């Protein structure tokens, strides 16, 4: 049986181990925070809808975003290193300034306040203010983050509601002997509230339709309407991004450039409507064959281009062969009678270090031309 002395040592050991684990966890969290992409965090803060300010330990402004400039009228450069408690309170409000100064510099780790502030031009704004102290176990430096949510409109609406309630009470006191007239007034108020609710609902529906229209327009602007693939203009944007990521990650990147064999003869024989059916089916076959991260484009006329991230030339050849084989076995019936098959020639190119998009497409086009020379309906890849 363990005596009291042994039990005390055991408890002390457990407490020591818990403290060590807590310290290691805190150091790990600080390490993760330190390794964060600060430029990304700064961009997120800058684009936030709420006004955000980061202060040093003396209450001076280290960073402010665009929403803060819109709220107070002070540009980020203008407010830099200024004491926040001084620029959002009137000069003669010494008590208010002292209160905010203590709030921003105090030991409180997190608090929320509702208060009024003034902007650069002396206009009053009502805000909900959240203040939090940011501290690090690996550094004695402390910062303070302040988030302002402008509730001026809500405050004014609340005041207006209170005024309306007071008016109603006065009317009720003056006309207690006329219940019918009071009921009429209340009925009118209900109708106005209902009309306002209907107006708000209609505005929300209009905003949703506008959003859907914008998304539909964006989709149509980057999509080839016949094949359902992306268009050539969008290809240039996507390609530049993928080239940048390939260089950054040092992962391979390949493209496929394909051309339908004897497409003009097919069009002259069966008509452009039948040719459109061929192009549509090729778009469907390509989308079914490639991965989700791959991107397919109608490059022009009967030419198609596929961008394959994280794929080398040999792997790209397998994808190209799958597309070629699937199209070869696909049957068309442009007229009554025997089915017709179409084939495609595919040139493969893998991006090399610091190679431009134009050069890579030129190599893929040369490889596709070799397919045509060798008899069409084939895939060709050359490292040269």
Name the token pair of 358: 């134009």
Task: Give the span between the Cα atoms of 68 and 52, in whole angstroms.
Answer: 6
Task: Give the span between the Cα atoms of 102 and 96, in whole angstroms.
Answer: 10
Instruction: Provide the b/e sequence for 187-199 (b: ≥16 CB within 10 Å).
Output: eeeeeeeeeeeee
Instruction: Provide the b/e sequence for 115-136 (b: ≥16 CB within 10 Å).
Output: bebbeeeeeebbbbbbbebeee
Please give the biggest Cα pair distance in the chain: 103
Contact, 330 vs 261, CB < 8 A?
Answer: no
Phi and psi torsions of 379, nearest 5°: -115, 140
Active-site residue identified among 26, 95, 163, 302: 302
Active site residue 338: no
CB atoms within 10 A of CB 175: 13
Residue 294: half-sphere exposure toward Cβ, Cα within 13 Å: 22
3-class SS at 258? strand
3-class SS at 243? helix
CA 41 to chain centre: 14
Task: Give the span between the Cα atoms of 46 and 39, in whole angstroms.
Answer: 10
Phi and psi torsions of 83, nearest 5°: -75, 120
Give the list of residues 6+ apart from residue 185 with CB closer than 8 angstroms, or none. 168, 171
3-class SS at 343? coil
User: Can you tell me which residue has the tokens 């442009």?
Assistant: 334
Phi and psi torsions of 91, nearest 5°: -60, -30
Active-site residue set: 302
């Amino acid at each position: 049986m363990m005596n009291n002395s042994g039990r005390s040592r055991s408890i002390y050991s457990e407490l020591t181990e818990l403290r060590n684990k807590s310290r290691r966890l805190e150091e790990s969290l600080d390490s993760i925070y330190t390794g964060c992409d600060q430029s990304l965090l700064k961009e997120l803060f800058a684009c936030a809808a709420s006004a955000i300010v980061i202060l040093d330990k003396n209450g001076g402004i280290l960073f402010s975003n665009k929403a803060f400039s819109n709220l107070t009228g002070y540009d980020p450069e203008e407010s830099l290193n200024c004491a926040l408690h001084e620029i959002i309170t009137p000069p003669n409000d010494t008590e208010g300034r002292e209160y905010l100064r203590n709030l921003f510099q105090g030991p409180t780790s997190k608090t929320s306040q509702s208060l009024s502030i003034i902007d650069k031009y002396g206009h009053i704004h009502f805000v909900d203010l959240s203040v939090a102290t940011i501290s690090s176990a690996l550094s004695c430096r402390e910062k303070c983050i302040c988030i302002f949510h402008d509730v001026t409109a809500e405050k004014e609406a609340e005041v207006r509601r209170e005024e309306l309630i007071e008016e109603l009470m006065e009317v009720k006191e003056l006309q207690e002997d006329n219940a019918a007239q009071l009921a009429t007034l209340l009925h009118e108020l209900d109708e106005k509230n209902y009309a306002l609710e209907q107006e708000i609902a209609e505005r929300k529906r209009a905003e949703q339709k506008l959003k859907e229209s914008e998304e539909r327009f964006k989709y149509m602007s980057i999509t080839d309407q016949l094949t359902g693939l992306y268009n050539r203009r969008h290809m240039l944007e996507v390609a530049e991004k993928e080239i940048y990521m390939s260089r950054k990650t040092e992962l391979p990147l390949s493209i496929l450039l394909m051309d339908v064999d004897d497409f003009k003869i097919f069009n002259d024989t069966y008509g452009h409507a039948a040719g459109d059916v061929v192009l549509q089916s090729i778009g469907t076959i390509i989308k079914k064959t490639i991965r989700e991260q791959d991107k397919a484009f109608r490059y022009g006329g009967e030419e198609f281009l596929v961008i394959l991230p994280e794929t080398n030339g040999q792997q790209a050849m397998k994808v190209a062969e799958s597309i070629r084989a699937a199209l070869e076995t696909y049957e068309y019936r442009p007229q009554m009678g025997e089915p017709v098959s179409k084939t495609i020639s595919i040139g493969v190119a893998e991006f090399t270090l610091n190679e431009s998009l134009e050069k890579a497409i030129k190599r893929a086009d040369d490889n596709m031309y070799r397919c045509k020379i060798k008899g069409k309906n084939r895939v060709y890849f050359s490292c040269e």
